[in-house]
Chain A
Amino acid sequence: MALSTEDIKKIAHLARIEVNDNEATATLNKLSGILGLIEQMQAVDTTGIVPMSHSQDLSQRLRDDVVTKTNEREAFQAIAPILGNGSAEAAVANGLYLVPKVIE
C-alpha cells in the first residue's frame, strides 16, 4: 500500500484541499510513516468481533415534533466571510450567501 504523490493529490482532491507538487511530496513522506504505524493493526485476528463505533450503547433520542429553534439568520450572516476576488464586502445578499456561479 505504498502511496505515490499522485495518490496524495487524488486524496487531497477528495478532501477539497489544494496541494502543489512540493507539498504532495512532503505530505507523502509524513503520511507514509503514519500509515506504517496504522499497518500494525493488520496483524490482529478480528474475525467475528463486532465493530465498536461508540463507547456507550445508545440509541438516538427522539423529541417532540415542535419548533425549538428561532430564526437567527442576521446573527449568523454577520460572521459571513468576505466575498474575495477583489471585493472586501461580506459574501451575503438579501439573506443569501454568495458563491461563484454553479449553474450557467
Chain B
Amino acid sequence: MINSSLKQLGEMLQAKKISSVELTQSFLSRIQQHNPSINAYIALDEAKTLAQAKAADARIASGEASPLTGIPIAQKDIFCAKGWKTTCGSKMLANFVAPYDAHVISEFDKAGAVNLGKTNMDEFAMGSSNETSYFGGVKNPWDFDRVPGGSSGGSAAAVAARLCAAATGTDTGGSIRQPASLCGFTGLKPTYGVVSRYGMIAFASSLDQAGPMAKSAEDCALMMNVMAGFDERDSTSLKREKEDYTRELYNSNPDKPLQGLRIGLPKEFFAEGLDASVGKVIETAIAEYKKLGAEIVDISLPNTGLSIPVYYVLAPAEASSNLSRYDGVRYGHRAESYTDLMDMYCKSRAEGFGAEVKRRILIGTYVLSAGYYDAYYLKAQQIRRLIAQDFVEAFKTCDVIMGPAAPSTAFKAGEKVDDPVAMYLQDIYTISTNLAGLPGMSVPAGFSTGGDGKALPVGLQIIGNYFDEARILNVAHQYQQVTDWHDRMPEELK
C-alpha cells in the first residue's frame, strides 16, 4: 500500500476497500517507526490529522469525493496551516502557530486530502542539504550518512522513505528538483505564477514557486490539479483557465508514444563539473527516450554559468527585504533582554536567524546599498534577461530540454557545510529555470554507485516551455511506463 500510486489509493478509498483513517494510521505508524532516525517531520498532530481522515471518510460515504479525498499528504513547513506550528525551519518562528491557511493548504483541504504533518527544511528555504534547519538535518533514506538535498529535504525524505503518499515543496533555485534527484522520486516546479504564493513564507518572491513531490509523474499531475489555479491574494498569481494536468497522460500511441518530440540537450549541462557516473545515467535515459520516438537536438544555453552569480545577487536582495519583517515586535522570536528598540531589533534577529540566513541577508543588504545597486542588483537583472533569452532561442529548435538535475548524487552530511560556494554549485542546472520562470522536473533515471558501494539515485531534469507542465508530465510519464526507477525504495525501509 505504501507503494501505491495516488490514483490507486483514490480508487481503493472510493471502493471502500480501505478507509482514510486506516490509510492515515498506517502512514502515522511508519512515521513513528522511522522519523526518529530520519527527522523528515518537524511537526505532527495526530488528533488533527485523524480528524481530517474521519471527515474524508464521511465525504467518501456521501459520494462527494474528489481524486485526492482521504489521501495523506506531507506539507513543507513553509506553508502556513491554521493551528499548526509553522516554523520555516527557523528558531525565529519556532513558536509560531499560523493564524491562517496558505492557499496551497486550503486547496488540499477543499479536495479532502489529509495533512499528515509539517516537514523539515533548510531555514527559510536557504540551503541545498537541509543542514541549515534549526531542527537538525534530515537523513537521505538511501544512505543515512548522506543529505537528502534541500531546501525541501524533509518532504524529499518523507516521499523517498514512503512516510507519506505525496508531499509539497517549494523551489526558488532548485529546492524541489535537487532533493528529488538526490532521493530518487518525481518533483515538479511549475511555471512561475501557476501556484499561489499566499501563505507560503517568502524567500525570494520573484523566484519562489510551490510544486508537488511524489513517486510518479502521474501523482504529480493529480497534485497539480489541486494546487494550481488563480488566487486573488497573490499579486503575481496568473489568471488562467483551470487545467487538467493529467490530460496528456492517457492518449498516446503505444509503440512510439513520444514520436516527433524534439529533446534539446544543452552542451553546458554536460560540461566540466558534472560527475561522470551521473552523466552516464542521463545518457542511458536519453537513449530510452529515443526508443520512445523522440529526436535529439543539440542546443546551447551559453549563460548557464552566470546563473549562480546572478541568483546570489537577486535571491539575497529579495530575501533581505522579505526577512526585514522579522523584528520581534508582533510575532516570532524576541530577545530575552535588550536596552532599547534598536537593541531589541538587532538582538532578536541575531538570535533568531541561523548563519546561512544571516549571510544571505548581509549579501542582499550589501548589493542593495547606495553605490552598489547598479553594479550588482541592476547588472544581475540584466544578465537574468540574457539567461531567459537563451531559453527562448533554445525552444525555437526543441520542445523540451533535458539534462541532469544535480551535478552529483547525494553528498555526505557535513561535507559542504563550511563552504557556501561549493554548496551553491549544487544548483547549477536548476537555477536558470527559476530565473527564466520556466517549469522543470526531476525524474528518477537510475542509480550510481558511490565510493562506499551504496547505490544512490540520479534524477533526469526535464525543462518545458512556459505553461507546458502537462506536456513535461507526459514526457516523464511515458518514460515511467517503460522504466521502474520511480518505483524503487530503500530495502531497509520496506
Q: What residues make up the interface of A, taking CB atoms closer than 8 Å to B?
A: 8, 11-19, 27, 30-31, 33-42, 44, 46, 49-56, 58, 60-61, 63, 72, 75-76, 78-86, 91, 97, 99-102
Shortest 8 CB-CB contacts between residues of A and residues of B: A55-B437, A51-B381, A81-B334, A46-B382, A52-B385, A18-B350, A18-B346, A49-B382
> What are 23 pairs between A and B in contact, CB < 8 Å?
A14-B365, A15-B361, A17-B358, A27-B358, A30-B420, A31-B362, A33-B419, A41-B383, A50-B382, A54-B437, A55-B192, A55-B206, A76-B99, A79-B95, A79-B97, A81-B331, A84-B338, A85-B338, A86-B337, A99-B344, A100-B339, A100-B341, A101-B340
| B270 at the A interface (CB under 8 A) | no
A27:B359 contact, CB within 8 angstroms: yes
B236:A34 contact, CB within 8 angstroms: no
Chain B residue numbers with a CB within 8 Å of A41 are 306, 309-310, 313, 376, 379-380, 383
A91:B206 contact, CB within 8 angstroms: no
**Assuming the A-B contacts A44-B386, A75-B99, A84-B335, are A17 and B341 also in contact, with contact meaning beta carbons closer than 8 angstroms in the complex?**
no
B421:A37 contact, CB within 8 angstroms: yes
Chain B residue numbers with a CB within 8 Å of A12 are 362
Bound-state CA distance A8–B324 (Å) is 18
Chain B residue numbers with a CB within 8 Å of A82 are 334
Chain B residue numbers with a CB within 8 Å of A14 are 365, 369
Bound-state CA distance A8–B174 (Å) is 29
Bound-state CA distance A27–B421 (Å) is 13
Chain B residue numbers with a CB within 8 Å of A8 are 362
A49:B365 contact, CB within 8 angstroms: no
Indicate with 1 or 0, residue by residue over B307-345, a CB within 8 angstroms of chain A CB atoms: 011101100000010001001111111111111111111
CB distance from B345 to the nearest CB of A (A): 4
Residues 267-320 (chain B) with a chain A CB within 8 angstroms: 305-306, 308-310, 312-313, 320
B380:A53 contact, CB within 8 angstroms: no
CB distance from B20 to the nearest CB of A (A): 29
| B388 at the A interface (CB under 8 A) | yes
CB distance from B152 to the nearest CB of A (A): 21
Chain B residue numbers with a CB within 8 Å of A75 are 99
| B424 at the A interface (CB under 8 A) | yes
Partner of B365, one of A11, A54, A80: A11
CB distance from B253 to the nearest CB of A (A): 34
A58:B381 contact, CB within 8 angstroms: no
Chain B residue numbers with a CB within 8 Å of A37 are 308-309, 312, 421, 424
**Assuming the A-B contacts A15-B365, A38-B376, A79-B99, are A102 and B313 also in contact, with contact meaning beta carbons closer than 8 angstroms in the complex?**
no
A97:B330 contact, CB within 8 angstroms: yes
Chain B residue numbers with a CB within 8 Å of A91 are 329, 334
Q: Nearest A residue to B364 by beta-carbon distance?
A: A15
Main secondary structure of the interface of A (DSSP, over half): loop
Interface core residue of A55, A72, A75, A84 (most chain B CB under 10 Å): A55
A60:B235 contact, CB within 8 angstroms: yes
| B139 at the A interface (CB under 8 A) | no
Chain A residue numbers with a CB within 8 Å of B232 are 63
| B378 at the A interface (CB under 8 A) | yes
Bound-state CA distance A11–B365 (Å) is 7
Chain B residue numbers with a CB within 8 Å of A61 are 235
**Assuming the A-B contacts A15-B362, A17-B361, A100-B340, are A34 and B312 also in contact, with contact meaning beta carbons closer than 8 angstroms in the complex?**
yes
Partner of A40, one of B306, B345, B436: B306
A49:B385 contact, CB within 8 angstroms: yes
Chain A residue numbers with a CB within 8 Å of B378 are 51
Chain B residue numbers with a CB within 8 Å of A60 are 235
Q: Nearest A residue to B377 by beta-carbon distance?
A: A51
B350:A19 contact, CB within 8 angstroms: yes
| B349 at the A interface (CB under 8 A) | yes
Q: Nearest B residue to A60 by beta-carbon distance?
A: B235
Partner of B359, one of A13, A34, A55: A34
Indicate with 1 or 0, residue by residue over B349-392, a CB within 8 angstroms of chain A CB atoms: 11001000011011101110100000110111111111010000
Q: Nearest B residue to A16 by beta-carbon distance?
A: B345
| B215 at the A interface (CB under 8 A) | no
| B96 at the A interface (CB under 8 A) | yes
A80:B331 contact, CB within 8 angstroms: yes
A56:B236 contact, CB within 8 angstroms: yes
A84:B361 contact, CB within 8 angstroms: no
Chain B residue numbers with a CB within 8 Å of A36 are 421
CB distance from A62 to the nearest CB of B (A): 11
CB distance from B385 to the nearest CB of A (A): 4
B341:A102 contact, CB within 8 angstroms: yes
| B76 at the A interface (CB under 8 A) | no
| B238 at the A interface (CB under 8 A) | yes
Bound-state CA distance A83–B329 (Å) is 9
| B118 at the A interface (CB under 8 A) | no
